[in-house]
Structure 1
């Protein structure tokens, strides 16, 4: 294995995360990689569906074995070994795709959101129905009040708030179609604006409802909001300005008014052409695709923590030489500006090994010193 001073690495890493990874006292670039539960199967040589259901007992057993190996290779346990009792988990609320009459389906490999309309007239009719919905009644299950009372009395737990949603462009393209949305913005911009406004209203209402369910009001609600919007890269800047930007601006203004509030965008795609627009949102964190590098992001986001820019397929290839090359590149770009949280520019997938994480640690320790 590559030679890493494990104890010193983790001491330095703790300092590296201070001040949103911008601390002048940070001795090295921060490490954002903590692997994922998907990775247990390839690492341990076990059968299983990384994106499917794994029984809790089996999950705990796999995670414990994985953590034993992780301690030896990277010096830390990375995955949870305890899970909440099943009867302490709130019944699921309906998701935003269902509000827009889409269906979440599992194809045996992963879950997808299937659309609900294909033509402008079908879209108009669907938006009419969404606007008339009693959203609280629609998203909360029939047993919600009883379960909320029981769980609170038994475990002292309140419902989770909503601070992360599928991004507006990805949602719209799932519901209406990729090419359909592009042509809609070009051919019927007024209807496109209405679609955007309804998405904005639904996100706002769902988050507000769950704030209330958790016992918060407009004065004491927790700050922060995150969007995952891979498909927004398919829009031109002018299209995104019309459709996506107003939604993020409204939500961030309401839930993230303070400089320290988390304003986050995940779009693991080629986002360079949208950086000038996203830069106006004063994001505190971002995760873009592997072609959007530190030096380009910094032109528009001088104080945004960059979670990247290691290509996920480089990481999953387990080619230590290539991993070290990319990490060295990113560390050199971040040396003057800081604010880099060395992560994959996208998801960490099954097949990514712990030795690859150690290779990243090696590269940071050798090439990522400030």
Structure 2
């Protein structure tokens, strides 16, 4: 049976991501990131993909033709820089492995390195730090060549993830216990840098000051006590700065198991959440009754499963939670490299058939 890709995405635009059943069906979000793009295009030279502007845009165009034909999703020009942009502001060297996305070499090895890292960003022009100079150069090239205005500033890595990248994960956790005052200084620096980056980039690019997202995988490693002491004040200030009204979008993502921290996320007023598949869907709804859940499909199921398994899970999750209108169907974390495009289509078909409010299913 044929499936009308164009009609699906046209209807999808009418499906609000707000907590309501006043829409044709649940919205579907397929965040096709650089891992999928490289996989579809058969990229083997990963450093070149991240360092060579022209090559990256050719790869995106090549993959985009295939992805749009199979899923109806247009892949235009963009900047793929991995997940190093924010941590690079603090001076970490960007490492480009042969077969993986870039990562940041830690800059904090000893407690004495903490204040040195803080001094790098204190009062500095953030547009001149880390990878931002070439990011902004690529942005201008895309604007000149394609007429596409790339933006940044609507999100930031959470302080636990930033600290783990700057210190190394194990060292970060030791330092929280061994040098709490120094780590509070680092957290304050991350807080200020995040505020400045989001505010200054939005001002520079003429963007709205409302709404923001936090991406903080490593916050899942903290106990409720440590989260309340270290994370909560930073996130509270960020959300207050950019999401002062109840209607403003307070988004939070973590691939980790945040089961023990759901109450604190609710207290922060998080309006949209995307959590790792280890977190039980019904528990999220129980602890966060008015939060829109983005998920909750395991990425490995979409990569390794078959269309029937994917459809069965989407239908079950709609019966469990999605029927209340407070859900956007997507993976609980990013789509993985090697995810078959036919399984993405299976998600589309399943949402169209099993997640409706207009009685057409």
Interval containing the TM-score (normalised by the shorter chain):
0.7 to 0.9
Q: Deviations for 1:151-199, whole angstroms, at most 9, x for unmatched residues? A: 9999999884512222211110111122222222223322222221111
Q: Secondary structure at the match of 1:244?
A: helix
CA shift at 1:222, angstroms?
A: 2.3
Match of 1:107 among 90, 97, 114: 97
2:292 to 281, 305, 310: 305
Write out aligned runs for 1:15-26 (5 A).
Answer: 15=14, 17-18=15-16, 20-26=17-23
* d(CA) in 2 for partners of 1:119, 1:301: 39
Greater Cα radius of gyration, structure 1 or 2: 1
Q: How far off is 1:9 after superposition?
A: 5.0
Report the equivalent of 1:61: 62
Asked if 1 retains the 8 angstrom alpha-carbon contact of 2:251 and 2:272, the reply is yes
Q: CA offset at residue 225 of structure 1?
A: 1.3
1:31 to 11, 17, 28: 28
Q: Is the 8 A contact 2:26 2:328 kept in 1?
A: yes
Give the match's secondary structure for 2:214. strand
The SS at the match of 1:309 is strand
Contact kept? 1:318, 1:353, Cα under 8 Å: no
**Inter-CA distance 328–193: structure 2 relative to 1 (3 Å threshold):** same
* Residue matched to 2:276: 289
CA contact (8 A) 1:97 1:103 kept: no
Structure 1 residue aligned with 2:235, among 235, 242, 248?
Answer: 248
- Give the deviation of 1:275 after TM superposition: 0.8
TM-score of the pair, normalised by structure 1: 0.79
Question: What SS class does the counterpart of residue 369 from structure 1 fall into?
Answer: coil
Q: Deviations over 1:92-141 (max 9, x none)?
A: xx9432332212211122110111112223224433x2465434574398
Q: 1:183 to 1:319 in 2, by over 3 A?
A: same
Residues 65, 50 of structure 1: CA spacing in aligned structure 2 closer, same or farther, 3 A cutoff? farther
Within 5 Å, which residues of 2 pair with 1:46-125? 46-48=42-44, 52-53=49-50, 54-68=55-69, 70=70, 74=71, 76=72, 78-81=73-76, 83=77, 95-108=85-98, 109-125=100-116
TM-score, normalised to structure 2, is 0.81
1:121–1:145 distance in 2 versus 1, CA, 3 Å: closer
Deviation at 1:144, TM superposition (A): 11
State the alpha-carbon separation in 1 of the partners of residues 283 and 218 from structure 2: 20
Which of the residues 352, 360, 366 maps onto 2:339?
Answer: 352
Q: Cα distance 1:38–1:327, how it changes in 2: closer, same or farther (>3 A)? A: same
Uncovered stretches (5+) of structure 2, i.e. residues with no partner: none
Counterpart in the other structure of 2:158 = 167
How many residue pairs match? The answer is: 346
Unaligned 5+ runs, structure 1: none
Q: What CA distance in whole angstroms lies between the structure 1 residues aligned with 2:133 and 2:320?
A: 53
8 A contact 1:227–1:264 mirrored in 2 = yes
Measure the CA separation in 1 of the matches of 2:109 and 2:309.
Answer: 43
Alpha-carbon distance, 1:58 to partner: 4.3
Q: Distance in 2 between matches of 1:332 and 1:60?
A: 38
